[in-house]
């Protein structure tokens, strides 16, 4: 029996509001390469902050926290020189080219009260596997979203592995328990509506758990690495639109690139950092939102100390 939650994703057109064009797989003999670096320009936005007082599994999930009652989620992974990490880059305007790589399907794990990875790339009719590795229950709420608004895709429990103990109630039990084992399988069919290509998955019990997905209709995509770099190979000669996607960058970030036969194109893209308040959940520096001094001793992070 396969372990995990399998989500079959039926995706839509590559261009918002446009009819879908079937991608044709061909042999590319004169293909070129697109390489580039994505950097965030400006101040890195504040992370999200969730008060553990108001959420379940305080001790286990508090192993990754600031030690004062807050669980932090930073959607912007940025290096010291502005390297924008885990950002999706893809080509539009390409209707035929190299075949899709035959690899294992994308997998999202619930681990230490996080959904990993934070961003996922999926293709039309591909499955995505979601696995609960934690000794606590999670509830998956999935939505498709666009400028048209959000629509619920499904809301189902993601049970933990039955071999996990079910009486982790205090720091010595929950806080020190580190085993990860995959929970039982569950399957949900998801069809994104026409004109939508983005979906988000959140945990109904632990609000700081979220993972975003974007649909692609051709194999020319990449995610930036620790240096903010990406590479696409075997690109047919032509002119295309290079699109940068991150769920919390609301403006359109794109660049026109022209690839010659067996040529190499270097693209450097600066993404303006969004300003102002981006989310409702932020850390509040107020006594009413803090654990007592005694309680703080019980939730000292054991896996990771988070900064605001």
Interval 166-208: pLDDT, tens: 877 776 677 778 889 999 876 665 566 776 788 899 999 999 9
- Ranked by mean pLDDT, which of 1-5, 117-121, 141-145, 163-167 comes out on top? 117-121
Tell me the pLDDT band of 1, cut-offs 50, 70 and 90.
very low
List, for residues 3-51, the tens digit of each pLDDT value: 444 444 444 333 344 445 688 999 999 999 999 999 999 999 999 999 8
- pLDDT, residue 188, reads 65
Whether the pLDDT of residue 257 is over 90: the answer is yes
- pLDDT, residue 110, reads 94
Who contacts 287 (Cβ-Cβ below 8 Å, separation ≥6)? Answer: none
- pLDDT, residue 153, reads 78
What does pLDDT average to over the chain? 84
Q: Is the pTM of this model over 0.95?
A: no
Q: What Rg value do the Cα atoms of the chain yield, rounded?
A: 21
Q: For residues 45 and 54, which has the higher predicted lDDT (pLDDT)?
A: 45
Whether the pLDDT of residue 293 is over 70: the answer is no
Tell me the pLDDT band of 101, cut-offs 50, 70 and 90.
confident
Report percent pLDDT > 70 for the chain.
82
Report percent pLDDT > 90 for the chain.
49
What does the pLDDT average to over 65-83? 93
Tell me the pLDDT band of 292, cut-offs 50, 70 and 90.
low
Q: 265, 18 in Cβ contact below 8 A?
A: no
Cα separations (Å) of 8 from 76, 122, 269?
28, 10, 33
Q: For residues 3 and 258, which has the higher predicted lDDT (pLDDT)?
A: 258
Tell me the pLDDT band of 288, cut-offs 50, 70 and 90.
low
Residue with tokens 């061909």: 26
What does the pLDDT average to over 232-250? 95
Domain with residues 5-14+46-90+99-224, CATH architecture: Sandwich (2.60)
List residues bridging with 80 in a β-sheet. Answer: none
- pLDDT, residue 12, reads 37
Who contacts 126 (Cβ-Cβ below 8 Å, separation ≥6)? Answer: 8, 9, 105, 106
CA-angle at 101, arms to 99 and 105, nearest 5° = 135
Give 55: exposed, middle or buried? Use CB within 10 Å, 0-12, 13-18, 19+: middle
């Amino acid at each position: 029996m396969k372990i995990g939650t399998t989500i079959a994703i039926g995706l839509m057109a590559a261009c918002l509001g446009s009819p879908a064009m079937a991608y044709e797989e061909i042999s590319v003999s004169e293909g070129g390469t697109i390489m580039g670096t994505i950097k965030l320009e400006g101040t890195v936005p504040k992370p999200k902050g969730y008060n553990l007082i108001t959420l379940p599994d305080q001790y286990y999930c508090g192993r990754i926290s600031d030690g004062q009652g807050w669980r932090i989620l930073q959607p912007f992974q940025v290096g010291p020189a502005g390297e924008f990490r885990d950002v999706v880059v893809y080509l539009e305007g390409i209707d035929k080219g190299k075949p899709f790589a035959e690899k294992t399907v994308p997998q999202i794990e619930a681990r230490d009260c996080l959904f990993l990875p934070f961003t996922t790339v999926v293709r039309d009719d591909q499955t995505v596997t979601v696995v609960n590795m934690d000794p606590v229950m999670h509830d998956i709420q999935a939505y498709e979203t666009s400028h048209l608004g959000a629509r619920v895709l499904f809301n189902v429990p993601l049970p933990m592995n039955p071999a996990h103990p079910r009486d982790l109630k205090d720091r010595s039990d929950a806080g020190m328990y580190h085993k990860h084992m995959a929970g039982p399988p569950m399957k949900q069919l998801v069809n994104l509506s026409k004109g939508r290509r983005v979906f988000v998955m959140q945990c109904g019990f632990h609000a700081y758990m979220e993972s975003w997905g974007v649909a692609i209709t051709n194999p020319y995509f990449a995610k930036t690495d620790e240096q903010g770099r990406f590479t696409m190979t075997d690109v047919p000669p032509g002119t295309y639109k290079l699109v940068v996607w991150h769920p919390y960058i609301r403006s359109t970030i794109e660049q026109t690139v022209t690839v010659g036969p067996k040529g190499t194109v270097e693209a450097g893209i600066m993404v303006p950092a969004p300003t102002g308040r981006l989310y409702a959940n932020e850390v509040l520096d107020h006594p009413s939102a803090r654990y007592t001094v005694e309680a703080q001793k019980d939730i000292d992070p054991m896996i990771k100390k988070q900064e605001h």
